[in-house]
Every structure is written in C-alpha cells, then in structure tokens.
Structure 1
C-alpha cells in the first residue's frame, strides 16, 4: 500500500529588509534547525523593486554547499551570464568560490534561492555551475496540470541537471478544482511554497494559501508515496521542493557551510588571502548549459 503524504506544518514567511537596500524584500521560506529541514539549509524569496541606477550587491564567497536559484520574475545579469524569467541555476560552491551578484540599473525581480547541503563525502567537490534556460525545462501539460521540472524526476519527466544531493524542484500549476496525485519518494523531505491561489493537500484536504509554506510528513521507507493535490477556486501555482536528507550535521557561519568550526575558520583565512577563485574561472567542462 502506497504511503499517503499529508500536510503537517504550515506558516507564512514574513518579509524583512533585504541586503540590496531600498525596494528589496526578503522572505525566509526555509530556516530553523537543519535536523528538521535536511537537506535544505535556507531558502529565501527575494522580491526586488529597484527604482534607481545605483549599483548594489557585489562579490562574495561561498563554500560547502550548493545554491539553487529559480527566477520567477524579471531578468538580470550581463552578456556572459544572463538569467530571465523561468531560468534555473545550480551553483556548486564546494571547495570554495567567489560569486558576484550586482544590479546596476532599475529592476523588478523575484527569485527563489535555496542553499542545499552537500553530502559530507561531497562537501569539498570542485566548483561547478549548471544553467538551464526556461525553453529547455522538461514540461508536461495534461488534464489541467502543468509541470515545469527543473531537477530530479516527477510525473514521467526527468531533468538533465546533475545532483550530489537527490533533489526534485518543480513549478506546478493546477487549474481550478482539478485534482491530481503525484508520486514522490516517501523518504524525501518535501515542502510546497504557494505563489498564487490555494491548494488542498492529502486525504485530509488541509489548505495551503498564497505565500504560505507547507511541509509534508516524512517516512524512512524508500518506496514511492502519493501526494494528492486539489486546486482551489482560482487555481494554484506553487513550487515544490523534495530532497533526500543527508543525515549529516553541519556548521553554518556567514557564507560558509562546513563540518566543523575549524573548517569555517580555515575558509575565512583562505578567502582573506585571495585563495578562493571566482566562479567565472571554473573550467569550461564544469560550466554546463541547456
């Protein structure tokens, strides 16, 4: 008998002032004890309405994890690296990179950036960046359910994105009143973040509304599980994240994730000495594009 997924926790993340200054609202979609959110460390919903041409942002380091970015609205970047609405990026910081996020002009953006744990054996993997443009995202549109699959496998789709931590990321739209049942590994920690509309989840039909985050029950079974979803009167659009827990303990400080406090100190020393290279210096074979 298949395991039924249920909504066991929900909340509405509160916006706070973002690091890009005026017009930047940052909503902490995922935060709290890593033992509960594993393999997800943080997820921020960044909403920006920049009304001037004063440059903001700049270079900063990362190490020990991956950033997983989905652009929901707008576009940014330069001719070397440009993202537009619906594009996706996984950047493996691994052993350490310097990353630059600079906005020099007026912009209206919304993007989700997840910090995803690297399993202990892959903590210091060589840096890598994977970019998928929206037109290459595996997509299905059947029976009132549209799925854009960015990572992993779902609903008969499989993304070409390579993962260290098994990860499903999907942007799902369900028409008003439509019910669908999707299969997910029962042992994947899973949450939904509603962008528009509302949805009833599981046999208990607990509701999740716009701007709310909902976490599902988690099993140790390795079999598939059923996730029943029924869209509300206005339909629903949400992003689904499901990942296999690493079971590791982590130490988090600033832009770094490590296994010990000593490793964090070493990373800061390496950064100050200029020993961490910029992501643009990654060999071409580790810059993967679709």
Structure 2
C-alpha cells in the first residue's frame, strides 16, 4: 500500500493581473513533482481576488489543466479556440510549440474556485502543434462507491476512462467521500502521486486536513478514510519524464538556450 511520504502547505501569492491564489506545487519547498510543474488553487467569493483575470500571455513546452469547481471563465487563444469554463468543467490545453491565450472571469460576483495544473511534456513532444479541449461537467464520468463518488477527469479508474487525453500517462480524480468511509485507489507503480484535500480531512498513515498537500510513495495503491463530513480531495498521479527541466516564466523546455529562443520567438511575433 502506498503511504504518505510527507505533507506540505501551499503558499499564498498572486498571478496574472492580480488573481489571489495558493501555489501548492511550484514553490521553493516543492519546485516540481515530475511530471507536474505547478499546482495552483484559486478560490474566493471576493471579486477583487479574481476579477482582473489572466490577460493574454504565452506558453511553450507543457500542458495546462484547469478544473473549475465553481465559477465561469472565458478562454481565448491564438490557435483560434474559444470556450467557457463553468461549474465542474475542465479546460485541457497543450501549449506545445507555442500559444498565446487569455483566461478572464465571466462573472462579477460570487464564488470562483478551482485548480490549475501544469503538466510537463517530454522533449520529443514539446514542439507539437498547440491544441485545446473543452470538457463539460456532464462529460466527466462519475463512479459511485459505498460512501461517496469519484469524478474521473483523466486516466483509468475501475475500467472507466476519463476524457482528458494527456501526452503522458496521468491519473486525475476528484474524490468526494463521507465521514468514516474509506476508498482504495490503484496507481501505476513508479508513478509520482499527490493528494490535495480541499474540503474536510482524510487519514492514511498520516492525517491530511483541508489545505494540505500529501506527497505519496511511489509503489502500490493509496487507501484512506474520511474523518470529516463532506470531505473532498483531488488525487493526481503521473509517469515521470526524467529529463532536464529549464524554466523561464511561462516557458518550460530542456535547456536554457531553448528558453531564450522561446523569449525571442515571442518578442518577434513567431510564437503563437
């Protein structure tokens, strides 16, 4: 059975044009968890925390997965894609060789809550054509179990395949579990995995309260039980790429030279 290796708390920060968020992966304490480069949680009922949004900005060399739990965002990019993120929907974007996009709120009040995950691309796929997939809430399968339900966003759970189609192996589940119930989640051996509790509390070999990230060991299934009512957590696992990573702002490549090339391409209008 896969145990919790250690716990971490996210760091409050802001991004975009001033959106308040909690950075969970991508901090000095946890720079990345191969293949995951960044995990942000955004959540507020105060419009001042999200209204400025994320105006046009570039990306190259990775994928972004935005899971909107509550709220409405509009997405536009230079590949000609346009879509809306609403309650329970997912935006899956492959930046590949380069894309310029914006993510702006389509609401002026009420709760805005969700996650954005950055998923690295292997060297041979960093320069693929950019693409975008809008996954509606109704297209995300639900698996009911005794004590709760699981949303299968990506990967395979109990023969149910999620709609997310990453370029590498990824499992992404949103688990809702009642107090005193337990769940066992199979994970591919040698994959890196984490759990983030966004409501309630779970217990495995360690207790994981709301707002804590649990980094898991790399072998076996993960089993836990809920110790609070209305417990909700995401569990994400991925096949490590095991390549050098060079980062520069919105670009993630393998070398510093490739990062400089990305900035040059952006400034000269060749990116996106």
TM-score w.r.t. the length of structure 1 is 0.84
CA distance 1:128–1:33, shift in 2 (3 Å): farther
Residues 157-193 of structure 1: CA deviation (Å, up to 9, x unaligned): 1113222111111100111101222211121111011
Query: Which residue number in structure 1 is paired with residue 218 of structure 2?
Result: 218
2:122 is the counterpart of 1:119: yes
CA distance 1:78–1:68, shift in 2 (3 Å): closer
| Equivalent residue for 1:167, pick from 156, 165, 170 | 170
Task: Measure the CA separation in 1 of the matches of 2:211 and 2:226.
Answer: 15
2:3 is the counterpart of 1:6: yes
2:269 is the counterpart of 1:267: no
Larger radius of gyration: 1
| Equivalent residue for 1:43, pick from 39, 45, 51 | 39
> Aligned Cα RMSD in Å?
2.2
Matches within 5 A, 1:220-259: 225-259=220-254
Matches within 5 A, 1:66-215: 66-77=63-74, 80-103=82-105, 106-107=108-109, 108-201=111-204, 205-215=205-215
CA contact (8 A) 2:50 2:112 kept: no
Deviation at residue 26 of structure 1 after TM alignment:
1.4
Residues 68-105 of structure 1: CA deviation (Å, up to 9, x unaligned): 11012111227941110110121000100001123475
Farther-moved stretch of structure 1 (96-105 vs 136-145): 96-105
CA contact (8 A) 1:153 1:159 kept: yes
Residues 245-276 of structure 1: CA deviation (Å, up to 9, x unaligned): 00111100010011111111111111111112
Residue 191 of structure 1 aligns to a residue in which SS?
strand
Deviation at residue 235 of structure 1 after TM alignment:
4.3
For structure 2, the residue ranges without an aligned partner over 5 or more in a row are 77-81
CA contact (8 A) 2:179 2:231 kept: yes
CA contact (8 A) 1:53 1:105 kept: no
Task: Measure the CA separation in 1 of the matches of 2:99 and 2:168.
Answer: 19
* Equivalent residues, number: 264
Residue 186 of structure 2 aligns to a residue in which SS?
strand
CA contact (8 A) 1:34 1:40 kept: no
Deviation at residue 58 of structure 1 after TM alignment:
1.3
For structure 1, the residue ranges without an aligned partner over 5 or more in a row are 220-224, 278-290
Residue 215 of structure 2 aligns to a residue in which SS?
strand
Matches within 5 A, 1:58-73: 58-73=55-70
Task: Measure the CA separation in 2 of the matches of 1:56 and 1:160.
Answer: 26
Task: Measure the CA separation in 2 of the matches of 1:189 and 1:276.
Answer: 31
